[in-house]
Every structure is written in C-alpha cells, then in structure tokens.
C-alpha cells in the first residue's frame, strides 16, 4: 500500500515561532504534494501544494520544502499565530490513471498565545 508518513503527531509552538511538520513517502511515482488544513468541526481545505519540479514553494507565511532525493517534504509556518492552530495533513498522488490522494495521519498544531 502506498504510504505517506507524517510527523510529529502533535506540536505545540509559541506565538511567533516556526512550526515544522514533516512527511516522507515511498512511491517515486508521486508527483503532486498538497497540504490540507482542518479546523475543528470543519472539513480539510487545501492550504498549499507543490510539484517535484521545484524545491520550495512559499505562500505568505506558509512554505513547502521538497527534497526529491530523500523523498521528503515539509511544511514550515513562519511567525505562527494562534489562528494557525489546526490539524494539518500532508498528501501525495500520481497524475495518472485513477490516482487518488494518499494522506498522512495528520499533525495537531497548537500555537500558544
């Protein structure tokens, strides 16, 4: 079974700090790597995504770093805010056939005031 391994399971960061969540994958055919953000009582929503032709993508305070040789990618949240407290899921998929997203198990982030 295709897998995406996500760590840590939970994370507490002080306001203004950097939050880092890591994911590793096994299938070298994966070519799309999104991150989803989920607030309590809501469905996940796409936060940011990257394809393996670039090593980094930044949108505001959120950055994805991608290491193709190590088969790893990570989400960095700069200047973390209490409003960033949520569950974050990494995912991966192949753009071929009937490929679907394979999700990591999620990271619960708490940003303390």
Partner 1 sequence: DVKVTQSSRYLVKRTGEKVFLECVQDMDHENMFWYRQDPGLGLRLIYFSYDVKMKEKGDIPEGYSVSREKKERFSLILESASTNQTSMYLCASSPDRINTIYFGEGSWLTVV
Name the residues that contact partner 1, by CB under 8 A: 1, 6, 9, 32, 34, 36, 41-46, 49, 89, 93, 95, 98-101, 103-106
Radius of gyration of the chain, Cα coordinates, nearest whole angstrom: 14
Query: Least distance in Å: CB of 43 to partner 1?
Result: 3
Between 29 and 46, CB nearer to partner 1? 46
> Cα separation of 55 and 19, whole Å?
19
Query: Least distance in Å: CB of 104 to partner 1?
Result: 6
């Amino acid at each position: 079974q295709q897998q995406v391994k996500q760590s840590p399971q939970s994370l507490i960061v002080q306001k203004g700090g950097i939050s880092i969540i890591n994911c590793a994958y096994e299938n070298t055919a994966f070519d799309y790597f999104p991150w989803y953000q989920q607030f309590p009582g809501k469905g996940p929503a796409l936060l940011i995504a990257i394809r393996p032709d670039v090593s980094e993508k930044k949108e505001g305070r959120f950055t994805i770093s991608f290491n193709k040789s190590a088969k790893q990618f990570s989400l960095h949240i700069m200047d973390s805010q209490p409003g960033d407290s949520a569950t974050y899921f990494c995912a991966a998929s192949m753009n071929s056939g009937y490929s679907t997203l394979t999700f990591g198990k999620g990271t619960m982030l708490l940003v303390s005031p």
